[in-house]
Amino acid sequence: MTSEARPPGDVPAIERLLGMRRSPGEKTACAGLEILARTLAGLASAEDKAAAIRHLQDCDDCAEVLLELARVEGAGIHPPEERIPAGVEGERRPFGARLRDFFATPLLAPISAAFLLVVTFAVWWLVPRAPIQQGSGPGALQKGQGDALYVAVQRGQVQFVLKPEDFVNDGDSLGWFYSTDRAGYLAILFREEQGGVELIFPAKASQSAAISPGFKIPLEDGARVTAARGCEWLVAFFSDRPLEIAALRKALLLAHGAAERCSLEVPFDQARSVQVFPLLRERRESEVSP
Amino acid sequence: MSIAPELIVRLQKNDQEAQRLFWSSQWSYVFAICAHILGKGAAATDLAVDVLTAFMFDYVHGLAHPATAKAYLRLMAVRRSLQKRKEQRVFVELQNWETLVEEGARTPEDQALCRAAMPRLEGCLSRLSPNAQQVIRLSYTQGMGNNRIAELLGVSKQYIGKLIKKSLERLRRCMEEPIPGEGRKGEGS
C-alpha cells in the first residue's frame, strides 16, 4: 500500500482523467489460445491435440491459464448454460469434464514440468480418478485421533492411495485427501533429510487453512515428485486453531529424522494431530549413504 | 442463454441485438472470473468490460469455429485477468499511466497533476456501484456513446445519461475530498 497525497493545485477534469485511463490490454491474441479453445470445445482433431501439447510445452502462460481456469471451475464459477443439475441433459458433457479429459492426456507431464519441483498445481483433481479404495491406510499418526490425511498417487494412467510401505517414483503426481470428524485447520509440509522444508498446502499461505468435517475430501493443491536423494517426509498438521506456517517450518527443521528407517519425530504441541508420511524410494546400491 | 453458433455468426455480422444478448448472457460469468482472480472491485469490472468488448468487436471476427467461442471467451477472461494481476503486483500500471499521461497532457505541470491524480481516481472508481463502473468504462475507455451503451445493456439512454452524470459528480466529490495519505485500492505489496 502506498500513500498518495492530494495533487497540488486543481484536480484535472474527471472526464479528461477517465479518457486517459486506457487499458494496455494485449495487442495480439496468443495463437495457441484458439487451438486450446478448440480442444476444450471438443472439436480438436488428433493433430490439434498434438499441437496443443507442443504449444503448452513452450507457453508457460497458456499452461498457467488452463490451471487457473481449473481453479475457477473448481470454485463453482460456471457459465449460465452449464448451471444445470446433473442428469437434466444427458447428452451434454460439462466443460469441467472436457477439461478433465484434456488433462487426462499426456499433457499432464509437460504442464506440470513447467512448474518445476514441488510447486502447487490444481491438476490432480482434474484427472479422472478411480474410486479411492476404502480402508487404505494413511501415514503414521504420531498424535491425536479422528484426523487422517491420504496421499493419492497418479503414476501414468495408474492411481492409488499411498501406503506407508509404498515407494514413490520421480514424476509421480501427488494429491491429498483428508478425513476429519470436526472442523479445524490443516497444513501439509514437506521435509527433506538434509533439512529443507517446503509448504505444500495451503500454497503460499502464512497460516494453516480452514477445513470442514468429512470423509476423504480432496484438497486442491498437489505436488510432483522430483529426483532426490535420501529420505523425504510429508507432514500433516491438524489443529483447532490456525497455525503459523513459520512455526511449523521451525518444528520440522528441528524434527529428528532417522535415515536408516526413514522415520521422523515431530514434537509439536499446538496441533491436535500430526501425521507423517515417509516418501520412500527404491534405492540403488550406488545411492545408499555410507 | 448459451453462446449458440448462430449467435456468434450474428455477432460476426455486427448485429446489435445479438450484441445485447451476448452481453446480458455473459456479463455475470465473465465478471465472476475476473473478480475471482482479481478480487471484486473496479479492476475486475474494467477487465470484464474490456474482455467482452474485445471479444465481441474484435476476436469474434477471427474465430474459425463459432462453436469454440465459449471456450475462447473463458480462456481470454482468465488470461487477461492473470496478466492484470501480474501488472498490479509489479506496479506496471503506474508506469503505463505515466506514458498515457504524457501523451494526453499538455504541459509538464499538467503531466505531473494528472499522474498524481490517477491513483486517487482508481480508489474513487472502486467506490462506485458495479453498474456505474461498467458504464463509465464503456463510455470513457471504450468510447461508446450513451445510445450505444443503452442498446448494449438493454436500458434507456436517459438512464445511462443520468448514471454517468451522477457517477461523474460522485467521482468529482471523491477526488476533492481532503484525505491526505489515502492509499490506492488494489495495490498489492
Q: Which of A19, A23, A34 minimises the CB distance to B64? A: A34
The DSSP H or E segment spanning B22 is helix B16-38
Q: Report residue A185: phi and psi, to 5°.
A: -135, 150
Residues 7-26 of A with CB under 8 A from B: 7-12, 14-26
Cross-chain Cβ contact B141/A40 below 8 Å:
no
Q: What is the pLDDT of residues A48-82, one digit of tens each?
A: 777 777 777 777 778 788 878 877 877 777 776 54
Percent residues over pLDDT 70 in chain A: 61
Give the chain A residue whose CA is nearest to the CA of B171. A14
Exposed (0-12), middle (13-18) or buried (19+): which is A256, by Cβ within 10 Å? Answer: exposed
Residue B22 has pLDDT above 50, yes or no: yes
Q: What CA–CA distance (Å, rounded) separates B118 from B123?
A: 9
Domain B5-88: which topology? Rna Polymerase Sigma Factor; Chain: A (1.10.1740)
pLDDT at A144: 57
Q: What CA–CA distance (Å, rounded) separates A34 from B64?
A: 9
A33 neighbourhood in chain B, CB within 8 Å: 72, 75-76, 79
Residue B30 has pLDDT above 90, yes or no: yes
Given a contact cutoff of 8 angstroms between Cβ atoms, the answer to whether A230 and A193 are in contact is yes
Record the cell numbers describing residue A259, joined without a space. 535415515
Residue B150 has pLDDT above 90, yes or no: yes
The shortest C-alpha distance from A185 to chain B (Å) reads: 23
Domains of chain A, by residue range, sit at 31-79+94-114, 140-287
Query: Is the ipTM value over 0.95, yes or no?
Result: no
Q: Where does A140-287 sit in CATH, by number?
A: 2.60.40
Matching CATH number, B97-176, of 3.40.50.12170, 1.10.10.10, 3.40.50.300, 3.40.350.10 = 1.10.10.10
Q: What is the pLDDT of residues A105-164, one digit of tens each?
A: 444 443 433 333 333 333 333 333 333 332 333 455 555 567 888 888 888 777 778 876
The shortest C-alpha distance from B147 to chain A (Å) reads: 18
Record the cell numbers describing residue A232, joined without a space. 523425504
Give the chain B residue whose CA is nearest to the CA of A22. B141
**Pairing relation of β-strands A232-239 and A184-192?**
antiparallel
Mean pLDDT of B114-137: 84
A9 neighbourhood in chain B, CB within 8 Å: 109, 113
Q: Which residues contact A183 (CB under 8 A, 6 or more apart)?
A: A210, A211, A212, A213
Q: What is the pLDDT of residues A83-109, one digit of tens each?
A: 433 333 333 444 555 555 554 444 444
Kindly list the distances between the CA atom of residue B76 and the CA atoms of A19, A86, A133, A233, B92, in Å, as whole numbers in the listed order.
24, 27, 39, 39, 20
* Cα A25 off chain centre by: 29
Give the chain A residue whose CA is nearest to the CA of B115. A7
A41 neighbourhood in chain B, CB within 8 Å: 65, 67-68, 70-71
